[in-house]
Amino acid sequence: MQDDNQARAIEPGYLTQDVTKVPGWHGLVAWDLLFNNLTTGLFLFAAVGELARPGLLGPVARLAYPVALVLLLTDLVMLVADLGDPLRFHHMLRVFKPSSPMSLGTWSLTIYSLPLTLIVAIEAAQFIGWLPSESQALEWMRWSAVVFCLLPAFGSLAYKGVLFSTSSQPGWKDARWLGGWMASSALTLGCAELLAISILTGHPRAAAALRTVAAVLVVLNLIPTGLVFLELRPTLSRIYRDQQVYLALAFILVGGTLVPVVLLLAGDGAPWRLGAVLLIVLGGFAVRLLLLKIPHASHESRTGARALESVRRAVPG
């Protein structure tokens, strides 16, 4: 029985709670983030590569577009499935509201999907012989579609990070470089994907060029990663113990950067390079999952702290 002379434990009001509500964005959205960046990164890298060095990257780029389309469709399925009412997905297209990153993103993804489908349709029809493979007009149409697709693909890539940073959630709201990091990371992922495609389809010249580019991009990506980390630092320190933060940092530096770079530059043979690509993609997913979890973790850490405080008060000493 409680001693009446003992100060009674009460909850400490609202001071220790997160004011904001956590949106119900869970693991599915981390996959959406990854697939969005995989498709847009791959398309942009392939298109820029094809336009800049058609002789070197043109043949691989042609193989990359169908992959980008499959990744896009996977991403769209996740976007729709994550809605509270998936059957109302098309309501996203009843207004165009550039002030909302989500509206801009939905429109960008929709427009991006159209020329990309056209590119893949032309290639598929040529492959199965329904269309002539040497037609100037078709090549011009395909080329126009690639060029037209650049802008919506860029929009589809750019909106994601800004959507998260333009919010009131702990951590995300402070991450001014989140969009910048995501853009750089998506292009790195795109390069890694194209490298994997060139290795798997037997394009050694393209693979040799892409391996150096991938290694440089992985290292350069540390700059926006560092900037985002500095912005998130206060929130991460509040949520996690120092050891946890350092462990995550070491994981990003070693697992997602150092090992892939060593494998890319020193590894001799396809398995090493494919291993590097896998690590880059897995590392990218892990960072996106961590970012996505920040508001959830913040909320849980506050709740945990409150529960501990209650126990401490209820059981003095």
What residues from 194 to 213 belong to the interface with another protein (CB under 8 A)?
205, 208-209, 212-213
Task: Pick the piece of the chain touching another protein (CB under 8 A) from 83-91, 128-136, 248-256, 283-291.
Answer: 83-91
Nearer to another protein, 5 or 243 (CB): 5
Q: How far is the CB of 61 from another protein (least distance, A)?
A: 12
Nearer to another protein, 104 or 122 (CB): 104
Check residue 268 for interaction with another protein (CB under 8 A): no
Q: Which two tokens stand for residue 261?
A: 């770079």
Quickly tell me which residue has 């007009």 as its tokens. 137
Nearer to another protein, 120 or 218 (CB): 218
Nearer to another protein, 208 or 230 (CB): 208
In the range 10-39, which residues lie near another protein by CB under 8 A? 10-15, 17-25
The phi, psi pair for 297, rounded to 5°, reads -65, -35
**Cβ–Cβ contacts within 10 Å for residue 302, how many?**
16
SS3 letters for 46-107? HHHHHHHCHHHHHHHHHHHHHHHHHHHHHHHHHHHHCCCCHHHHHHHHCCCCCCCHHHHHHH
Cα–Cα distance for residue pair 105/270, rounded to 1 Å = 36
* Residues 114-133 as b or e (16 or more Cβ within 10 Å = b): ebbbbbbbbbeebeeeeeee
Cα–Cα distance for residue pair 283/253, rounded to 1 Å = 10
In the range 174-193, which residues lie near another protein by CB under 8 A? 176-184, 187-188, 191
Nearer to another protein, 130 or 233 (CB): 233
Q: How far is the CB of 180 from another protein (least distance, A)?
A: 3
Cα–Cα distance for residue pair 278/27, rounded to 1 Å = 20
Task: Pick the piece of the chain touching another protein (CB under 8 A) from 6-14, 113-121, 231-239, 262-270.
Answer: 6-14
Specify the DSSP element, H or E, that contains 208.
Answer: helix 204-220
Nearer to another protein, 11 or 133 (CB): 11
Q: Residues 57, 189, 261, 290: which binds another protein (CB under 8 A)?
A: 57
Binding mask 278-297 for another protein (x = CB under 8 A): -----------------x--
CA distances from 64 to 36, 49, 67 (A): 15, 11, 5
Rounded (5°) CA angle 228-25-226: 10
In the range 90-119, which residues lie near another protein by CB under 8 A? 91-92, 94-95, 97, 99-103, 106
Nearer to another protein, 245 or 265 (CB): 265
In the range 136-165, which residues lie near another protein by CB under 8 A? 154, 157-158, 161-165
